[in-house]
Chain A
Amino acid sequence: MIEEMRRGALANLPVGASVAAYGSVLGMLAAQKGLTWLQLLVMNLSVFAGSAQFVMVEMWAPPLPVVEMTLAVLIINMRYLLIGASLDPLFQGKSLAHKAGIMHLVADENWAVTMAAYRHGDATTGFLLGGGICLCSVWSMGTLLGHQLGALVVHPERFALDFAFVAVFTALTVSMWRGKSDIVPWATAAILAVVAERWLPGKWYIVIGGIGGASIPALPSVFKSRKEVHATPPETASVRPITEKTK
């Protein structure tokens, strides 16, 4: 488990640098809004969701709009419902305590790195957790540095740090490619996401693109007659979930 966690942490270091830089921007904004470093740290450890925390700090003015803030966070983080669901094969056979403990530290970045590694058959829940610990640490360090000293990088765009996330996720998307059958679902997802991002607030575009694209391969069975569906034997998984191959 420790070895898996170490590998997961290392795999998340490249994107971690960018996470820290953005953390420092959040820290600087939080200081301007009057959050103490302790409140910020508690937020990092308990919420641990970058874009949601940016919105919270944005809304941070007395009297705190607690209900609106919680709703905003709920909407921005709706994608975690899908991200959590997609981790089901990785957690096969694990106890509820194991799931409840590790899921807290699932962010976009370590989820993506883990899913890519999983496709190659070498990811475990320990790998996921190691990545989460790595990201939570650099995120907290970045925000606290920004809070105390100002942002490490005032305009992250100038150094293409905003594109770091795009680049990492693009590279990881490549390893998700399964073949020609992905063309239509992927094109659908991309178009839906771009359009939704234009017209809808928050992070709805991830939910809409993700569900829309993944629905394509699910559609044929809807149109098939019941008899036909029942006649086909249950498919055997093409990719065998490899859990606990190594300790």
Chain B
Amino acid sequence: MTFATPSDLTIAMAIAGAALATYSLRLGGLLLAERLPKNGGFKRFMETLPGTILLSLVAPGIFSAGMLGGVAALTTALCAWKTNNLLLAMIVGMAIVAVGRLLL
């Protein structure tokens, strides 16, 4: 029984390792940014970064959802643009995909 399940020590090490790795990246990024120059190219880079990260987060998801994903994403974007309502935009996008998958 005991050799069939991982030992408490390795479980603790696995979780602690993952926690430490993740936290170091989170705090490390912030502390690193403080030390970067705040002018010229770097400044423009940092100002553009939030938008490009967000877009990179979603682009493959939209792309892999195909035509349906494209239509849903476009409608979501339009809805967000017009209403500025995150919840509504999300529901509209999900509804299009759910109905689309049911029918197609």
Q: Identify the A interface with B (CB < 8 A).
A: 11, 14-15, 34, 39, 42-43, 46-49, 52-53, 56, 60, 62-64, 66-67, 69-70, 73-74, 77-88, 91, 99-100, 103-104, 106, 108, 112-113, 115, 157-178, 182, 185-186, 188-190, 192-194, 197-198, 205-206, 208-222, 229, 234-235
Q: For residue A104, which residue of chain B has the nearest CB?
A: B23
- Taking each of A11, A175, A214, which has the highest tally of chain B beta carbons within 10 Å of its own beta carbon? A214
Contact present for A46 and B16 (CB under 8 Å): yes
B19 within 8 A of A: yes
Contact present for B53 and A86 (CB under 8 Å): yes
Complex interface: chain A residues within 8 A of B19 (CB): 43, 46-47
Q: Which of A11, A66, A79, A167 contacts B53 (CB 8 A)?
A: A79
Q: Which of B3, B32, B52, B97 contacts A214 (CB 8 A)?
A: B52
- Give me the 6 closest cross-chain CB pairs, A-B, nearest first: A84-B29, A209-B56, A167-B93, A213-B52, A171-B80, A70-B17
Q: Which of A15, A53, A67, A186 contacts B52 (CB 8 A)?
A: A186
30 pairs of residues in contact across A and B, judged by CB atoms under 8 Å: A52-B22, A66-B17, A74-B25, A84-B32, A85-B33, A86-B53, A87-B29, A99-B27, A99-B31, A103-B23, A103-B30, A104-B23, A113-B86, A115-B50, A163-B69, A163-B72, A166-B58, A166-B72, A169-B54, A169-B57, A170-B77, A171-B89, A171-B93, A172-B54, A182-B48, A190-B59, A193-B56, A193-B57, A218-B48, A222-B41
Q: Which of B14, B32, B50, B90 contacts A167 (CB 8 A)?
A: B90
Q: How far is the CA of A83 from the CA of B53 in the complex (A)?
A: 8
B-side binding surface: helix, strand, loop or mixed? helix
Q: Which of B6, B41, B43, B51 contacts A185 (CB 8 A)?
A: B51
Measured between C-beta atoms, what is the minimum distance from B52 to chain A in Å?
Answer: 3
A-side binding surface: helix, strand, loop or mixed? helix
Measured between C-beta atoms, what is the minimum distance from A84 to chain B in Å?
Answer: 2
Measured between C-beta atoms, what is the minimum distance from A44 to chain B in Å?
Answer: 10
Instruction: State which residues 20-53 of B face A: CB under 8 Å.
Output: 21-23, 25-34, 36, 39-53
Complex interface: chain B residues within 8 A of A159 (CB): 94, 98
